[in-house]
Amino acid sequence: MPNIKVVNMAGQEVGALELSKKVFGAAVNEAVLHTAVRAYLLNQRQGTQSTLTRSEVSGGGRKPWKQKGTGHARQGSTRSPQWVHGGIALGPKPRSYRINLNKAVKRTALFSALSSKVAASEMVVIDNITATEYKTKAMVEMLSAVGAAKKALIVLPEVNEFVIKSCANIEGVKTTQWNTINVYDILNCDTLVVAQNAVAKIEEVYAR
């Protein structure tokens, strides 16, 4: 089973933690990771783009000229696609880009993402991530002390408004809870910073 050291918010080592091999020591499946990331990004798309067809643009109610005898090509409306101010032919309409993944694929992708961070030594476990006031400086100092000065994802065991709002103004830093982590955010960060209680909850749910 993989082991990882536990540090405090000052970056001092305070112990060690034995991680679940099933969750944090799994084989990294790159194909499944690609599928999960693609599904996540596509599911963020709203798909609300819309163009007006000839039936939706204003005007064009009557035939512009009679069918025969004018020398012009026959026309039934001034709002056909070939006319200026006409409707759009075959333009985009609201649609869903959603991709659904089954439970097994989602779990495999999550285990692969977490395991890749552990294997690359890009995961830091902190004994307790807490704050009693809104203070960005304290969070910046914590991240610097544990070696997560660049893009970091902080995983909390529960909602802590002081920590969340103190990190909100730090560029490249994102906070989440153990039950809302996703593969894209894990792979997109340089350092995964996890509270020890959050690790326990992840293993409690997924290591069974």
Last residue of a domain, one of 96, 130, 162: 96
- For residues 12 and 150, the model is more confident at 12
pLDDT value at residue 124: 95
Q: What is the pTM of this model?
A: 0.82
Residue 65 shares a structural domain with residue 161:
no
By residue count, the chain amounts to 208
Cβ–Cβ under 8 Å, residues 162 and 185 = no
Last residue of a domain, one of 56, 73, 96: 96
Between CA 180 and CA 200 the distance in angstroms is 15
Between CA 104 and CA 100 the distance in angstroms is 12
Residue 22 shares a structural domain with residue 117:
yes
Residue 30 shares a structural domain with residue 112:
yes
DSSP line for 85-135: T-PPTT------------HHHHHHHHHHHHHHHHHTT-EEEES----SS--
CATH of the domain at 111: 3.40.1370.10
Residue 103 shares a structural domain with residue 187:
yes
Residue 15 shares a structural domain with residue 106:
yes
In which domain, by residue range, is 20 found?
3-45+98-206
Cβ–Cβ under 8 Å, residues 163 and 130 = yes
Residue 41 backbone dihedrals phi, psi, to 5 degrees? -65, -40
Burial of 171-189, coded b for 16+ CB within 10 Å and e otherwise, reads: eebbbbbbeebbbbbbbeb
Residue 124 shares a structural domain with residue 164:
yes
Residue 14 shares a structural domain with residue 115:
yes
Cβ–Cβ under 8 Å, residues 52 and 95 = no
pLDDT value at residue 150: 84
How many domains, in total, are found in the chain? 2
Residue 74 shares a structural domain with residue 142:
no
Residue 70 shares a structural domain with residue 150:
no
Residue 92 shares a structural domain with residue 107:
no
pLDDT value at residue 159: 92
Residue 34 shares a structural domain with residue 60:
no
Between CA 115 and CA 108 the distance in angstroms is 10
pLDDT value at residue 61: 86
Cβ–Cβ under 8 Å, residues 127 and 8 = yes
pLDDT digits (tens, 9 = 90+) for 138-180: 999 999 999 987 899 999 999 999 999 999 999 999 999 999 9
Residue 16 shares a structural domain with residue 84:
no
pLDDT digits (tens, 9 = 90+) for 38-86: 999 999 999 999 999 999 999 988 999 999 999 999 999 999 999 999 9
